[in-house]
């Protein structure tokens, strides 16, 4: 019996009508496997996964293959976005067994007693092709192998368990931490840079936002020295420019697709994920502050507008994903033909848009045109015989018309799950963009998302990871707590709210109380009361998301300095010491942890402004126009009461004043904005400790 109809995951519901007796991962499914002695076929994917759809159509919807699966296995379907704990474990196991990276769909075969895998892969075709076996033949061979080799499977399972243990970071560092990983990460990133197209490496090409953020912070650390790191800044500027020009960026509606299938950022894998766009929104907004280049401001604004327009749930939080496919075809929603476009536009609009976006060039996606910048606007204006300002106006009206037409097409599937961690990344992005772009509306939207999570996703005193159809489910993971804590420390700078500060301190206490590795430091991915799985990981390396331990270390360090609480500072230091070995050996794989190390070595500068609400916010606005990643500015109204920790000591005066704190030292009240600027300039020159 297929039991997925009772689930809320859009991905699981896509498989509820399969002839496969799919089970969710729960006690009943695991018990059935143990009781029958049949191995588990574990299939992990997500709703926007193109190859998941392909395997479903070829195999899981086939009655004969479904019957074979039901005869030989207990079949369990998992949404990797609901259960990143399971996905993390079995992706790692796949890499150890197959000696190559995994992906989705992930297909693993597990021993029912130990839940350890003995074979696996990703996509398998329904018939033999491309050097891969047909799925039915594979099923028969795997089942036979399991029946004939139980003892060997147990031995291999123990070896796999031992390999997992060896992957864990070694003993915590007891000596002095230093800044060597900062320079090493920078050098490796620049060695990997594609000097023509930007980005790291070749196709397929991902944004690697954490690496770009690391380079931008590295540049900023030496920006006021006699030899600023222009190479690091160039790498970020080149990458963000080429991405904004490419097809990975939605030239009509804003927002970024997940990755490019080529080295040129031209043709994306068309799914649009919330978790990519939050960090990219922040980075483009910050690059606008660094450069003053209008192109970065435009992309940041359009990306923010996209997430508010297309991904904003009625309750205030944000949906997860837009699928790559619509009407069974990847990218169909986004692509055009010149004739389609010409029918919608005036002749002068078409002339500019066609030259700019390459409609006058050969088709670039399966006989259609996916829009990307082919010629600079100045060249398109010259070719069209109009001024550049006129070309900009024509392009903007043309884009608006095409977007309106596109809105009427059959949309890609929407995964309307609300994921706490991904919302944390977007709340952070909106908060940073609100300050950089001077858009209070984005701060208010981010606050509403925060309130939804606090009010709807904390159940019986425990944060839940996912909300869907009125239900909040699955105990939250490290990433959920860490990303939300980090986001709140950014949001409080855009919009002070005592309730949000209380939520932040609760999240920090939950991290330390329920996730910390008391023996070695750092944080486990799952809480201490989570179900027992085959492994309990402590992730320090960045993957598609920044590492939870890294974000936790950064945020706890900041919160500790803001409130003057050594409990948070000590936990942050223990995390850095726990991750020191992998970070020092492989710094370019730990960019987010390197950022946390930077703020441990050179403490953040905390600015607390007290005064009438409007005056305090006005002071803060004058600081928002600078890119200063180690500087946190909190405008707290004079009538705010019962402030926790060290904030209680930073009292208001008759006039607006500011306090500048770094480490354990705080300045006397600063009475003018000019004095504040001078104090911050001095703090910016403080050497690393």
Cα dihedral 262→264→267→268 (10° resolution): 80
Contacts of 662 (CB under 8 A, 6+ apart): 603, 604, 605, 606, 683, 686
- Residue 642 φ then ψ, to 5°: 55, 45
Task: Please provide the average confidence, as pLDDT, over all residues in the chain.
Answer: 96
Q: Is there a contact between 381 and 388 (Cβ–Cβ < 8 Å)?
A: yes
Which pairs from 394-401 meet CB under 8 Å and 24+ separation? 394/348, 394/349, 394/352, 394/353, 395/349, 395/352, 395/353, 395/356, 397/349, 398/345, 398/349, 398/350, 398/352, 398/353, 399/251, 399/252, 399/353, 401/344, 401/345, 401/349
Using one digit for the tens of pLDDT, what is the confidence trace for 627-660?
Answer: 999 999 999 999 998 899 889 888 888 899 999 9
Q: What is the pLDDT of residue 686?
A: 58
Share of the chain above pLDDT 70, in %: 99
Q: What per-residue confidence (pLDDT) applies to 689?
A: 41
User: Nearest CA to 78 among 14, 142, 33, 160?
Assistant: 14
pLDDT at position 99, please? 87
Mean pLDDT calculated for residue range 131-155: 95
Quote the CA–CA distance of 113 and 343 in Å, as a whole number.
63
Query: Mean pLDDT, to the nearest integer, of 61-65?
Result: 98
| CB atoms inside a 10 Å sphere around CB 223 | 15
**Would you say domain 4-167 falls under CATH 3.50.50.60?**
no
Residue 687 has pLDDT above 80, yes or no: no
Confidence band for 663, pLDDT divided at 50, 70 and 90: confident
Given a contact cutoff of 8 angstroms between Cβ atoms, the answer to whether 109 and 38 are in contact is no
pLDDT, position 188: 97
Query: Domain 180-326+415-601 falls in which CATH fold?
Result: Glycosyltransferase (1.50.10)
pLDDT tier, 37 (very low <50, low <70, confident <90, very high otherwise) = very high
**Mean pLDDT calculated for residue range 670-684:** 88
Q: What is the pLDDT of residue 171?
A: 86
Distance of CA 515 to the CA centre of its chain: 21
Q: Which residue has the tokens 């949404």?
A: 79
| pLDDT(15) > 60 | yes
393/399 Cα distance (integer angstroms): 10
Helix, strand, or coil (residue 513): helix
Q: Which regions of 592-656 does DSSP assign to beta strands (E)?
A: 605-611, 631-637
Residues 348, 394: contact at Cβ < 8 Å? Answer: yes
Look at 279 and 171; give whichever has higher pLDDT: 279
pLDDT for residue 673 is more than 50:
yes
User: SS3 sequence, 207-270?
Assistant: CCHHHHHHHHHHHHHCCCCCCCCHHHHHHHHHHHHHHHHCCCECCCCCCECCEECCCCCCCEEC
What number is the average pLDDT over the span 218-225?
93
Band (pLDDT 50/70/90 cuts) for residue 351 is very high
Distance of CA 208 to the CA centre of its chain: 10
End-to-end CA distance of the chain: 63
The predicted-structure confidence for 302-348, as pLDDT tens digits, reads as follows 999 999 999 999 999 999 999 999 999 999 999 999 999 999 999 99
CA-CA distance, 433 to 288, in Å (whole number)?
10
Which residue carries 């088709």 as its tokens?
363
Q: Where in the chain is the domain with CATH 1.50.10.10?
A: 180-326+415-601
Instruction: For residues 249-271, give the mean pLDDT.
Output: 97
Distances from the Cα of 300 to the Cαs of 249, 284, 447, 511, in angstroms?
11, 5, 19, 32
Reported as a single tens digit per residue, the pLDDT across 91-128 is 999 999 998 889 999 999 999 999 999 999 999 999 99
Contact 306, 319 (CB under 8 A): no
What CA–CA distance (Å, rounded) separates 393 from 208? Answer: 33
Tell me, what's the pLDDT at 224?
A: 87
Q: Where in the chain is the domain with CATH 3.40.30.10?
A: 4-167
Q: Does domain 605-684 have CATH number 2.60.40?
A: no
pLDDT band at 135 (very low <50, low <70, confident <90, very high): very high
| C-alpha distance from residue 148 to each of 34, 97, 109, 145 (Å) | 17, 19, 15, 5
pLDDT at 444 over 90: yes
Give the model's pLDDT for residue 688: 41
pTM above 0.85, yes or no: yes
Q: 230-245 and 294-310 helices cross at what angle (nearest 10)?
A: 50
Average pLDDT over residues 341-361: 97
Non-local CB neighbours of 176 within 8 Å, separated by 6+ positions: none
Q: What percent of the chain has pLDDT over 90?
A: 92
Q: What are phi and psi of 48, to 5 degrees?
A: -95, 10
Contacts for 470 with CB less than 8 Å, ≥ 6 apart:
none
| Angle at the Cα of 549 from the Cα atoms of 548 and 553, rounded to 5 degrees | 120
Instruction: Find the mean pLDDT for residues 441-457.
Output: 98
Question: What is the per-residue pLDDT across 576-618, written as a single tens digit (0 to 9) for each?
Answer: 999 999 999 999 999 999 999 999 999 999 999 999 999 999 9
Sign of the Cα torsion 517, 520, 522, 525 reads negative
């Amino acid at each position: 019996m297929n039991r997925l109809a009772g689930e809320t995951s859009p991905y699981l519901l896509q498989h509820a009508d399969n002839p496969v007796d799919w089970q969710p991962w729960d006690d009943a499914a695991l018990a059935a496997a143990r009781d029958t002695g049949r191995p588990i076929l574990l299939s992990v994917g997500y709703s926007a996964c193109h190859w998941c759809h392909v395997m479903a159509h070829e195999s899981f919807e086939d009655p004969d293959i479904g019957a074979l699966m039901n005869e030989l296995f207990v079949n369990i379907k998992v949404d990797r976005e609901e259960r990143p704990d399971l996905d993390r474990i079995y992706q790692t196991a796949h890499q150890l067994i197959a000696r190559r990276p995994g992906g989705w769909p992930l297909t693993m075969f597990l021993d029912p007693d130990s839940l350890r895998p003995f074979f696996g892969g990703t996509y398998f075709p329904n018939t033999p092709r491309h050097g891969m076996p047909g799925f039915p033949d594979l099923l028969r061979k795997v089942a036979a192998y399991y029946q004939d080799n139980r003892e060997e499977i147990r031995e291999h399972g123990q070896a796999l368990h031992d390999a997992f243990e060896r992957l864990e970071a070694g003993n915590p560092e007891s000596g002095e931490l230093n800044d060597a990983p900062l320079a090493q990460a920078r050098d490796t990133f620049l060695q990997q840079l594609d000097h023509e197209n930007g980005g790291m490496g070749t196709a397929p090409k991902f944004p690697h936002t954490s690496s770009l953020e690391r380079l931008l912070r590295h540049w900023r650390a030496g920006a006021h020295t006699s030899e600023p790191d222009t190479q690091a800044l160039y790498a970020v500027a080149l990458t963000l420019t080429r991405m904004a020009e490419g097809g990975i960026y939605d030239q009509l509606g804003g927002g970024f697709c997940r990755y490019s299938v080529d080295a040129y950022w031209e043709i994306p894998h068309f799914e649009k994920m919330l978790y990519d766009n939050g960090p990219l929104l922040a980075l483009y907004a910050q690059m606008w502050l660094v450069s003053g280049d209008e192109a970065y401001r435009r992309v940041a604004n359009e990306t923010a507008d996209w997430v508010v327009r297309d991904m904003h749930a009625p309750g205030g939080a944000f949906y997860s994903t837009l699928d790559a496919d619509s009407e069974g075809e990847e990218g169909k929603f986004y692509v055009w033909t010149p004739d389609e476009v010409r029918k919608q536009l005036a002749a002068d609009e078409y002339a500019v848009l066609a030259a700019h976006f390459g409609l006058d060039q050969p088709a670039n996606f399966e006989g259609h045109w996916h829009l990307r910048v082919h010629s600079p606007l100045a060249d398109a204006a010259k070719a069209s015989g109009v001024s550049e300002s006129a070309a900009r106006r024509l392009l903007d009206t043309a884009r608006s018309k095409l977007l309106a037409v596109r809105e009427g097409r059959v949309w890609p599937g929407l995964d309307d799950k609300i994921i706490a961690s991904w919302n944390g990344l977007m709340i952070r992005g909106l908060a940073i963009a609100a300050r950089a772009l001077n858009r209070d509306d984005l701060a208010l939207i981010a606050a509403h998302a925060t309130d939804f999570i606090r009010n709807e996703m904390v159940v019986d005193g425990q944060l839940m990871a996912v909300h869907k159809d009125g239900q909040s489910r699955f105990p939250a993971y490290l990433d959920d707590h860490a990303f939300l804590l980090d986001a709140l420390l950014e949001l409080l700078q855009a919009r002070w709210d005592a309730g949000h500060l209380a939520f932040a301190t609760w999240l920090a206490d939950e991290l330390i109380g329920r996730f910390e590795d008391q023996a070695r430091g750092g944080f486990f991915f799952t809480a201490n009361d989570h179900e027992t799985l085959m492994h309990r990981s402590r992730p320090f390396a960045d993957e598609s998301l920044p590492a939870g331990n890294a974000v936790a270390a950064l945020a706890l360090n900041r919160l500790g300095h803001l409130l003057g609480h050594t409990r948070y500072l000590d936990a942050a230091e223990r995390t850095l010491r726990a991750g020191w070995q992998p970070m020092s050996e492989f710094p370019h794989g730990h960019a987010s942890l390197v950022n946390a190390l930077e703020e441990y070595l050179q403490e953040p500068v905390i600015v607390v402004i007290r005064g009438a609400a409007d005056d305090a916010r006005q002071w803060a606005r004058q600081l928002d126009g600078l890119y200063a990643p180690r500087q946190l500015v909190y405008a707290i109204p004079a009538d705010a009461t019962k402030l926790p920790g060290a904030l209680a000591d930073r009292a208001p005066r008759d006039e607006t004043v500011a306090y500048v704190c770094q480490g354990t030292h705080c300045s006397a009240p600063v009475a003018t904005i000019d004095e504040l600027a001078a104090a911050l300039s001095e703090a910016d020159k403080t050497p690393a400790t």
